[in-house]
Amino acid sequence: MTVPQELQSISFALQKSAINAQLSSTPMEAPLAMEVTDSTRVFRAIIDRVSLSVDGTGKVVASLPSGAKLWVYGKTATTETTSPLITTLSGPGLQIVSSAAGTISYSFDQLFAVIDSVATAGSALELLAQNRVSNGSFSVTMALGTLRTARKTSPTDATPVLAALQAVTLRAGSQSVTGHGYKGKVVVTP
């Protein structure tokens, strides 16, 4: 039996307030960016279009529309991406972002499977896709563009506070997303 020792997904929930007219049963699209770093590795991914809507129970759901594009940048201790990998998502790649019971998930398993299938052999992105995000402490930043997020709460403190703007820039290729999201640490232990 294999025991996972890597970051497989990051999940979060968005709640629609009664006065937020941006979210409805009609989907809107927003860019989504994620950055994961440690002392020697940098991984950045941007998806140009994530579909957000409210389901029949009032929960915010997210999915990737067919034709969404993925931009990826990577750096390891020995190699760096000089131009971003750009791919159009289809099939299993559309499962990088999904929703279930009001929880939106960003799947690193699906993301790295897509990258591994199109990355150049020996490149920083192939190395990152094969080694994944495992065994260590990682700084994580996420930004969701377009959607206005007025407040946030944490699992340990239900007091609402203003959501901070976050930015993720690819570096190679100059693609970036600025929007509301989170910045923090993730610890992956065996």
Which pLDDT score, from 0 to 100, does residue 65 have?
94
AA letter at 141? T
> Residue 190 domain-assigned?
no
User: Is 42 within the bounds of a domain?
Assistant: yes
d(CA 99, CA 168) in angstroms, rounded, equals 23
Q: Is residue 178 part of a domain?
A: yes
Residue with structure tokens 């997904």? 9
pLDDT-derived band at 1 (thresholds 50, 70, 90) equals very low
Domain count, the chain: 1
Q: In this model, does residue 18 exceed pLDDT 70? A: no
- pLDDT digit string, tens, across residues 131-189: 787 777 888 888 888 766 656 666 677 676 666 778 888 876 577 888 777 777 777 76
Rounded Cα gap, residues 190 and 181, in angstroms: 27
Q: What is the mean pLDDT of the segment spanning 107-126?
A: 88
What's the confidence (pLDDT) of residue 98? 92
Hunting for tokens 């002392």 — which residue is that?
A: 39
φ and ψ at residue 110, rounded to 5 degrees: -65, -40
The residue segments making up the domain with residue 130 are 9-14+26-182
Cβ(141)–Cβ(182) below 8 Å: yes
Grade residue 55 by pLDDT with cuts at 50, 70 and 90: confident
147 in any annotated domain:
yes
Q: Which amino acid is at 1?
A: M
Q: What is the mean pLDDT of the chain?
A: 81
CA distance 171 to 174: 5
Q: Are 108 and 102 in contact (CB under 8 A)?
A: no
Question: Is there a domain that residue 140 lies in?
Answer: yes
